[in-house]
Amino acid sequence: MKEDICVLVRDNKQASVISSGLNEKGVSTTSSETTAISSSREIELLINLIKLKTDNTNKYAKFYIINYFKNTFDVEDEFLFFDEIVNCNIKKFFKKLGLKIILDGLDKPLLEAIDFFVKSLDLDKSNNDPFILTFKEIVHKKVFGEGFVDAEFLSYWEKEKEKIKLATKGSGRSVQVLTIHKSKGLEFPIVIYAFADSETHRNRSTKKWLPFSEEKDSFNLLIPFSEGIKEYSSAFFDEYELQTKNQEIDNLNLLYVAFTRAEDELHVISVNPKKGSLVSHSEIIRFFLEKNKKWTNTNSHYYWGEKTTKKRINPVKKHKPIDFETKTITKERQVVYSNDKIRFGKLFHNFMSQIVNESDYKKARLKMEVRNDIRQELKEKILALSKKTITNESLKAYFSNKINTVCEKEIFSNKKSIIPDRIAFLNKKDVIIIDYKTGAKQKKDTQQIGLYKETLTEMGYTVLETILVYLNPSNLSLELVHNK
């Protein structure tokens, strides 16, 4: 059946091509490419209510809200109707629209206000509107995970709204079309990996800041990142080799994700690769076939595994769900984190993820200082311990601008995905792994960083040392546990 099939692609452009082609053949599709949650009128209404909550004089927000509700009025002259209401103060504005109850939500914290607006305006009658549910998930994540307040969320929304897609399962007769990234953690009976030609080295139009020295002067230059830079200096050569290695790892991770989504059948479609190599997914596949002595220049179809037949069991008819009433239970925003240590841990990790090199510290500190959703005492602890971390005698070399570092980057292995807090690349082969802990020492800490080491070793790196950094916000101390 069509709902058993998922087509995986590399990017949204390919998703659009697949969806259009299938639709032309009469095959319905579900694709996140076409389901940006910003396309929902209800979501746009909520955004404009937040804007008006932030700035009571915002006429653009008022216009949208009037336009949304205008059909509930018998309007003879639309221009006069808008002109009369849009210039009213906030209380009179909602009173004229018959929405006086909305005023009670304007003083609530962001997430509580969203819940209040949805319930008061009856925007989700069935309590399962996918647009509203997805939107509330995002607001929850930004408020509780990153401490966003109204203005910060609106800024985030304006930048990212077109990228926030609705994750749907489609109708019972739709083929799903997903990018590989969005398929992480999902499984489907049948997976088709189309356009399996993802290039490993995507350096076109890429530019990088690289150190440049001339006599006594030393500075960074923004230059096109291509193979030609290797000839300039050994530093440029090492940078290019490291970038190339990282791209190979990323592309292998993508291939791993694509190849592990299928429960029963995986179909891979690609151009005929000219050789076996790591240059693209199709050439990686040819390399695998050559190693297993399966490749022939005249064959264009390859099969792996045994063909099996499964009997389909007709689904049991579901009973109509019982209607129920939804109630919103709210708490004071100050007690969202019942434990200050948990909040400190989340905020500290978020802060350190912004510091790739020591030169990033000042920018991260300024962003922290202007946040008004974090108590001053907590800010001071985060800034004090982060400064101690990057200036520590045993650690400061791994924050140097002279080495390459990745922070909290997801890596896939044949066991599971891992996200080390910090990996410092001393050269193209040797690495140091650093992980921050804000709680008491536990045996699982050593096991976790040991898994990081094992994974990177399997990927061809030499892990010279792992370092667990234990931070105590109570007395602003840190303790290092080294393991070579």
> Quick check: is 192 in a domain?
no
Number of domains in the chain: 2
Buried b (16+ CB within 10 A) or exposed e, 418-435: bebbbbbbeebeebbbbb
> Quick check: is 247 in a domain?
no
Q: Which long-range contacts (CB under 8 A, 24 or more apart) does 476-483 make?
A: 476/381, 476/384, 476/385, 476/388, 478/385, 478/388, 478/389, 478/392, 480/392, 480/394, 480/395, 481/441, 481/446, 482/394, 483/446, 483/449, 483/450
Domain boundary among 96, 127, 160: 160
pLDDT tens-digit profile, the chain (484 residues): 666 899 998 887 788 778 767 766 777 777 655 566 787 888 999 999 999 998 888 989 999 999 888 888 877 787 888 888 888 999 999 998 899 999 998 888 888 899 999 999 988 877 777 778 888 888 988 888 777 888 889 999 998 887 787 654 444 568 888 888 888 878 889 999 988 887 766 555 566 666 666 555 566 666 666 666 666 667 677 777 777 777 778 888 888 888 999 888 999 998 888 888 877 888 888 888 888 888 888 888 888 887 777 666 555 555 554 454 544 444 444 334 445 677 788 889 989 999 998 888 988 888 888 777 788 888 899 999 999 999 999 999 999 988 899 998 888 766 567 889 999 999 989 999 999 999 889 999 999 999 999 988 988 899 999 999 999 999 999 999 999 8
Q: Give 441's contacts (C-beta < 8 A, 6+ positions apart).
A: 470, 481
Domain boundary among 135, 160, 185: 160
pTM assigned to the model = 0.38
Domain boundary among 160, 182, 214: 160
Spatial contact of 286 and 276, defined as CB atoms under 8 Å apart: yes
User: Which CATH number covers residue 436?
Assistant: 3.90.320.10
> Quick check: is 277 in a domain?
no
> Quick check: is 379 in a domain?
yes
Spatial contact of 117 and 49, defined as CB atoms under 8 Å apart: yes
Tell me what pLDDT residue 92 has.
Answer: 92
User: Helices marked H in 292-418 — which ranges?
Assistant: 340-353, 361-369, 376-391
Query: What is the spatial distance between Cα 64 and Cα 432, in angstroms, rounded to a whole number?
Result: 53
In whole angstroms, how far apart are CA 62 and each of 51, 52, 66, 86, 87? 9, 7, 6, 6, 9
Tell me what pLDDT residue 430 has.
Answer: 94
**Chain CA centroid to CA 313, Å:** 37
Query: What is the spatial distance between Cα 279 and Cα 23, in angstroms, rounded to a whole number?
Result: 32
Tell me what pLDDT residue 338 has.
Answer: 40
> Quick check: is 310 in a domain?
no
> Quick check: is 185 in a domain?
no
Residue span of the structural domain in which 52 resides? 37-160
Residue position matching structure tokens 């510290």: 361
Residue position matching structure tokens 């490993």: 200
Tell me what pLDDT residue 303 has.
Answer: 86
> Quick check: is 193 in a domain?
no
SS3 assignment, position 382: helix
> Quick check: is 392 in a domain?
yes
